[in-house]
Chains A and B, each alone.
Chain A
Amino acid sequence: MCCSEYLAIFKKTVAMHEVFLCRVAAHPVLRKDLNFHVFLEYNQDLSVRGKNKKEKLEDFFKNVVKSADGVLVAGVKDVDDFFEHEKTFLLEYHNRVKDASAKSDRMIKSHKSAADDINRIASTLYTLGTQDSTDLCKFFLKVSELFEKTRKIEARVAADEDLKLADLLKYYLRESQAAKDLLYRRGRALVDYENANKALDKARAKNKDVLQAETTQQVCCQKFEKISESAKQELIDFKTRRVAAFRKNLVELAELELKHAKGNLQLLQSCVGVLKGDT
């Protein structure tokens, strides 16, 4: 792996970590988390161990249960318009971001392959230039030099597209999934709340364990209302952040594309000038 590729990957990783930390820091509740503070301030090695087999298995089952449950919960129509709308929106948005993310990866891969071809062409032209006994030797060497330079630019274009576009889409793929998860948790709370209501009615009807039923119902109600409140805020923030992130990245993408295209153009035009002068 050559230097520029390593640099590109490094840039990517740094950016992703930075975004994550800023997110946590901006969150009203999470920013106060002790773990977060330790992470930012502890000046010695943190020695975080990875998840062991048991924990990984737990995660796996949790996901299975969640998906199954999610289907049930999603089927429940929400009274609240806001959340109902959000549910529909997020489902569609998530799927489309997923598709866009996959397609952008594909496109960038082709771009990188093309840059590699140009690299090979440049080196063959160089060999041709050194071996040719005619006027063409200068020609070939000049063109080889040009292709070397444009190839580097093309590689950078692909890397920037990766950073500004592909990573953005990947990030929002995960974000929209997280938002869906939040809705799921609220939906779960709603179902629990509704079940608690039904249980209370039943208890009152039978006049048995009414107090217990009332307590359960109250707890569920509180839980539901709390999660609804914070979810609403989170989802509104999600939109704000999303718009800001897309704006920032799309602007930077366009600016970089322009910068590279102009660079390429200059190299090409000066080369054509030299070659035409030669003939």
Chain B
Amino acid sequence: MMAEERDPPLFTDVEITENSDFTELEDDEAAEELFVSAVSRSESSEGFFPGSNGPRAQQIVLDDEPDDLFPEVTEEVSLDSPEHEPILSDGPSPAITPITPIILQEDDDELENRDTLEIQICVSDPEKVGDGMNAYMVYKVTTKSTLSIFSRAEVSVKRRFSDFLGLHSKLASKYLHIGYIVPPAPEKSIVGMTKVKVGKEDLSYLMRTVKHPALLKDPDVLLFLESSELPRAVSTQALSGAGILRMVNRAAHAVNRMTIKMNEADAWFEEKQQQFENLEVLMRKLHASVESLVCHRKELCVSAAWFSKSVAMLGNAEEHTALSRALSQLAEVEEKMETLHQDQATADFCIFSELLGDYVRLVSAVRGVFEQRMKTWAKWQDAQVMLHRKREAEAKLQYANKPDKLQQAKEEIKEVLMLSGPRWETKVQQGERDFELISKNIRREVSRFEKQRVKDFKVVIVRYMESLVHTQQQLIKYWEAFLPEAKAIA
């Protein structure tokens, strides 16, 4: 499995390590050759990673998205290379849960196509634990299910926000590199919100996770849902939340886009990648507009309240009795407007805006998976290059007609090969297999993702429209009640 390989990753991640982990490189020659191969492959290479030492210092152009990159990040930031311990993983946990990912079998597709999954997860009852600086919120996570993977039909556990982040990072480290779309961690502010269920779709983070047939059976997920004691995800405290994780990932994506020039043989991938890029832009735009709408509706709500009070005062001052009464009725109508606008703003937000926010993150996760494929391809290519060079070196020595040198060279190569573990030929084969696997997985994942996206949007948009209908119906009621009062002014 991929996780067991310990060969150096080939400049694929944003590994801007201060104390460079070059202890992993078996010999300087190999390191140099890596560097050479890197330079020769990426044509555009200007720019730099401050903080990285040694031959890895690459120059990358930063003009496209200057605000996307974090040159100051000096910690290891790659989450998705299995070779390095991801910084967000729990310290003591490897002993408890195996890091082998669950691979989907063909018959799991059946699970995917079922309309309703026999599982319900509810996050509720936020409780404050501790006090002062060390206080944190704890949530009750209740899982009700008839599925056999669960030990009980109903189980409740207490989880804190860092547990959610920890779960996400474990899943990401296990599955991203084989092309599964791991749902991004939720925002801290909405973890305890109960309003994420719309129609029969539950859009919460945990439900989204278990809707994935492989993740549903993942031991870490099961532990999260069932185990009363969960080892604390210690390093997640250092990062205040999923937000920073995402920013860092965007930096990684930006770098990858620039360094890996892949010869795409499959048009499907190119097309899909473009589609998801466009989709992300539009989701962000829409999300921003809806958030602005929520904001203005809240303003409208507040100003309607003020106006109502003002009109009531005017009504009091008015001498003419009928007009005075009509004005106080108007004040009442405006007061009802205030509530109406408030409710609508809540609907705007909880129903529509939240979904859009989720999808901005989800589409970003999908693009991450495409990038994983690129990295896998790069690895495969690098293995091929290495193999070629080794063979060239061997051939050169053969023709040089220095039998003693040849012997020495052969010994050197043997040594190198022995030290570097599996032979390069095997590596090439492995690389190709990995690439094919991830490509296959991505196709399936994208299809599953799109199906879910269609379901989610349809259900949410219809619900949102219904909330708008309700608002108009209420409006009609209020004004119809007011009209006779206005006409009664004599």
Interface size class of A (residues with CB under 8 A): 35 or more
- A120: chain B residues at CB < 8 Å are 289, 292
Taking the complex as formed, is A257 at the interface, i.e. its CB lies under 8 A from any CB of chain B? yes
Taking the complex as formed, is B468 at the interface, i.e. its CB lies under 8 A from any CB of chain A? yes
CA distance A133 to B476 in the complex (A): 39
Output the least CB separation between B471 and chain A (Å).
9
- A272: chain B residues at CB < 8 Å are 462, 465-466, 469
CA distance A249 to B476 in the complex (A): 18
Taking the complex as formed, is B433 at the interface, i.e. its CB lies under 8 A from any CB of chain A? no
Taking the complex as formed, is A15 at the interface, i.e. its CB lies under 8 A from any CB of chain B? no
- B465:A271 contact, CB within 8 angstroms: yes
Taking the complex as formed, is B396 at the interface, i.e. its CB lies under 8 A from any CB of chain A? no
- A111: chain B residues at CB < 8 Å are 300
Write the chain B residue with the least CB distance to A131: B278
Output the least CB separation between A142 and chain B (Å).
9
Taking the complex as formed, is B299 at the interface, i.e. its CB lies under 8 A from any CB of chain A? yes
- B457: chain A residues at CB < 8 Å are 136, 139
Stretch at the interface among A67-75, A197-205, A258-266: A258-266
Stretch at the interface among A17-25, A27-35, A52-60, A96-104: A96-104
Taking the complex as formed, is A110 at the interface, i.e. its CB lies under 8 A from any CB of chain B? yes
- A107:B483 contact, CB within 8 angstroms: no
B contacts with A: majority SS: helix
Output the least CB separation between B317 and chain A (Å).
5
- B289:A121 contact, CB within 8 angstroms: yes
Output the least CB separation between B246 and chain A (Å).
22
- A275:B461 contact, CB within 8 angstroms: yes
- A100:B469 contact, CB within 8 angstroms: no
Taking the complex as formed, is B304 at the interface, i.e. its CB lies under 8 A from any CB of chain A? yes
Q: Mark A98-127, 1 if CB is under 8 A from B, else 0.
A: 011001101101110110011011001101
CA distance A5 to B127 in the complex (A): 51
- B286:A125 contact, CB within 8 angstroms: yes
- A239: chain B residues at CB < 8 Å are 319-320
- B479:A268 contact, CB within 8 angstroms: no
Given contacts A114-B300, A258-B476, contact A99 B469 (CB under 8 A): no
- B487: chain A residues at CB < 8 Å are 247, 251
Output the least CB separation between A94 and chain B (Å).
9
- A96:B296 contact, CB within 8 angstroms: no
- B297: chain A residues at CB < 8 Å are 110, 114
CA distance A250 to B329 in the complex (A): 11
Q: Mark B449-490, 1 if CB is under 8 A from A, else 0.
A: 010011001110110011011001101100110110011011
Taking the complex as formed, is A276 at the interface, i.e. its CB lies under 8 A from any CB of chain B? yes
- B293: chain A residues at CB < 8 Å are 114, 117-118, 121
Output the least CB separation between A113 and chain B (Å).
4
Output the least CB separation between B155 and chain A (Å).
34
Given contacts A99-B313, A133-B275, contact A268 B307 (CB under 8 A): no
- B475:A261 contact, CB within 8 angstroms: yes
- B286:A254 contact, CB within 8 angstroms: no
- A113: chain B residues at CB < 8 Å are 296, 299
For chain B, residues 289 to 333, give those with C-beta under 8 angstroms from any C-beta of chain A: 289-290, 292-293, 296-297, 299-300, 303-304, 306-307, 310-311, 313-314, 316-320, 322-323, 326-327, 330
Taking the complex as formed, is B279 at the interface, i.e. its CB lies under 8 A from any CB of chain A? yes
Output the least CB separation between B463 and chain A (Å).
10
CA distance A54 to B299 in the complex (A): 44
Taking the complex as formed, is A128 at the interface, i.e. its CB lies under 8 A from any CB of chain B? yes
- A107: chain B residues at CB < 8 Å are 300, 303-304, 306-307
- A124:B296 contact, CB within 8 angstroms: no
Q: Mark A237-279, 1 if CB is under 8 A from B, else 0.
A: 0010011001100110111011001101100110110011011
CA distance A278 to B459 in the complex (A): 11
Write the chain A residue with the least CB distance to B285: A124
Taking the complex as formed, is B39 at the interface, i.e. its CB lies under 8 A from any CB of chain A? no
Given contacts A128-B282, A239-B320, contact A103 B476 (CB under 8 A): no
Q: Mark A158-192, 1 if CB is under 8 A from B, else 0.
A: 00000000000000000000000000000000000
Output the least CB separation between A278 and chain B (Å).
8
- B450: chain A residues at CB < 8 Å are 133-134
- A110:B296 contact, CB within 8 angstroms: yes
Out of A114, A124, A134, A271, which one reaches B453, CB within 8 Å?
A: A134
For chain B, residues 268 to 296, give those with C-beta under 8 angstroms from any C-beta of chain A: 275, 278-279, 282, 285-286, 289-290, 292-293, 296
- B489:A250 contact, CB within 8 angstroms: yes
CA distance A246 to B490 in the complex (A): 11
Output the least CB separation between B83 and chain A (Å).
36
Taking the complex as formed, is A36 at the interface, i.e. its CB lies under 8 A from any CB of chain B? no
- B292:A117 contact, CB within 8 angstroms: yes
- A121:B480 contact, CB within 8 angstroms: no
Out of A117, A242, A246, A264, which one reaches B296, CB within 8 Å?
A: A117
Given contacts A128-B286, A139-B457, A250-B489, contact A275 B307 (CB under 8 A): no
Out of B303, B311, B326, B458, which one reaches A275, CB within 8 Å?
A: B458
CA distance A121 to B454 in the complex (A): 19
CA distance A139 to B459 in the complex (A): 11
- A99:B310 contact, CB within 8 angstroms: yes
- B289:A124 contact, CB within 8 angstroms: yes
CA distance A100 to B304 in the complex (A): 11
- A247:B489 contact, CB within 8 angstroms: yes
- A254:B482 contact, CB within 8 angstroms: yes
Taking the complex as formed, is A209 at the interface, i.e. its CB lies under 8 A from any CB of chain B? no
Closest 5 CB pairs of A and B: A117-B293, A110-B300, A250-B486, A247-B489, A107-B303
A-B contact pairs, 11 of them (CB 8 A): A103-B303, A106-B307, A118-B293, A121-B286, A124-B282, A125-B286, A136-B458, A261-B479, A262-B476, A264-B468, A279-B458
Q: Using CB atoms and an 8 Å cutoff, list the residues of chain B in contact with chain A.
A: 275, 278-279, 282, 285-286, 289-290, 292-293, 296-297, 299-300, 303-304, 306-307, 310-311, 313-314, 316-320, 322-323, 326-327, 330, 450, 453-454, 457-459, 461-462, 465-466, 468-469, 472-473, 475-476, 479-480, 482-483, 486-487, 489-490
Given contacts A89-B319, A107-B304, A275-B465, 18 further A-B pairs with CB under 8 A are A93-B314, A99-B314, A100-B311, A107-B303, A128-B286, A136-B457, A139-B461, A146-B465, A242-B323, A246-B489, A247-B490, A250-B486, A254-B479, A254-B486, A258-B476, A258-B479, A261-B472, A279-B462
Q: Using CB atoms and an 8 Å cutoff, list the residues of chain A in contact with chain B.
A: 89, 92-93, 96-97, 99-100, 103-104, 106-107, 109-111, 113-114, 117-118, 120-121, 124-125, 127-128, 131-136, 139, 143, 146, 150, 239, 242-243, 246-247, 250-251, 253-255, 257-258, 261-262, 264-265, 268-269, 271-272, 275-276, 278-279
